[in-house]
Amino acid sequence: MFCVWKIYRVPIAQAIDAHCEMMRVKTKRGNRTQNPFFPSGTHRPVELFSQDSFGKNITEREISLVEEHVEEFWASGRGPTADEQDADPTLGSCDDPLKTAALRAERDRQMRELGISEHNLQLRYRALRLITRELLELGDDDDDDDGDDDD
């Protein structure tokens, strides 16, 4: 997962941003539709944000009830402890498997040495995955050497 995240995170985020921007400025279609909510055609997405909400208004009492339940949940100890929470929630299961700065620097050096174009995501992913696996095995050999031959 780390290799997928490392290579594809930025292009995916850029594609999502571009899509959201295109939807924001999308032109309105003038054709009539069968949908009773759009009798004179579709709306631009930006117009939908400016319309009145058809949702149910929430009272102060309902907000207080939700806050009470949230406080009760965390006070009960059912939520994750501070140790269980990720310091950086954007990483999660995508933490770098190479634990030392030296191994990470070696991986970066090998990737630069390959000279793969940043636009060739598939080739970059495959190379990063292969190099990371090889360095993991190298790192495991160094970490597990406790002098005993009972493995």
pLDDT digits (tens, 9 = 90+) for 84-96: 555 555 545 578 8
What is the model's pLDDT at position 150? Answer: 42
Report yes or no on whether pTM surpasses 0.85: no
User: Would you state the pLDDT for residue 116?
Assistant: 93
Helix and strand numbers (H, E) in the chain are: 5, 0
Mean of the per-residue pLDDT values of the chain: 76
Percentage of residues in the chain having pLDDT higher than 70? 62
Task: Give domain limits for the chain.
Answer: 2-27+60-143
Q: Give pLDDT, residue 21.
A: 81
pLDDT, one tens digit per residue, over 96-148 is: 899 899 999 999 999 999 999 989 999 999 999 999 999 999 877 655 444 44
Q: How distant, in Å, are the alpha carbons of 23, 38, 51, 113 from that of 41?
A: 16, 5, 15, 55
